[in-house]
Amino acid sequence: MERVKRNDTVKVISGKDAGKEGRVVRVYPKASRVMVEGVNLVTKHERIRTTRRGAQEGGKQHVEAPLHLSNVMPVCPKCGVPTRVGARKTDAGKVRYCKKCDAEF
């Protein structure tokens, strides 16, 4: 079972954006990476070109880059604290839960 899923709120625990919180936009399980909204912004340079209408597109753009899964920690929706996640079996299947307050995700 995955520790972090899409639309989870996570807190960055290490790296240049340590301490920031954000929503998970995408998960890359094979690469062990996650894309977090508003975190790990990198500058991409795109060639400036002219459109048919005469407007110019391109230049410097700030885009989000994936973070390694070990650098983020899920935030419990009940207690609001970054926590480790456990898994338990229920009648409905496996369920993730907070190791601190025992609330289900």
Residue 44's domain is classified under what CATH number? Answer: 2.30.30.30
In this predicted structure, the answer to whether residue 57 has a pLDDT above a threshold of 90 is no
- The span from the CA of 105 to the CA of 103, in Å, is 7
CA distance 101 to 2: 19
Report the C-alpha gap between 85 and 74 in whole angstroms: 8
Could you tell me which residues come within 8 angstroms of residue 103 by beta carbon, excluding any fewer than 6 positions away? 76, 77, 78, 79, 97
Please count the structural domains in the chain: 1
For residue 1, what pLDDT band results from cuts at 50, 70 and 90? low
Instruction: Look at residue 100 and tell me if it is in a domain.
Output: no
Provide the residue type at 73 as one letter.
Answer: M
3-state DSSP assignment of residue 71? helix
Residue 29, domain member (yes or no): yes
| Predicted TM-score (pTM) of this structure | 0.82
20 is a domain residue: yes
Name the residue with higher pLDDT: 89 or 54.
89
* Environment class of 8 (CB within 10 Å of its CB; exposed 0-12, middle 13-18, buried 19+): buried
Assess if residue 72 is contained within a domain.
Answer: yes
Evaluate whether residue 103 is within a structural domain.
Answer: no
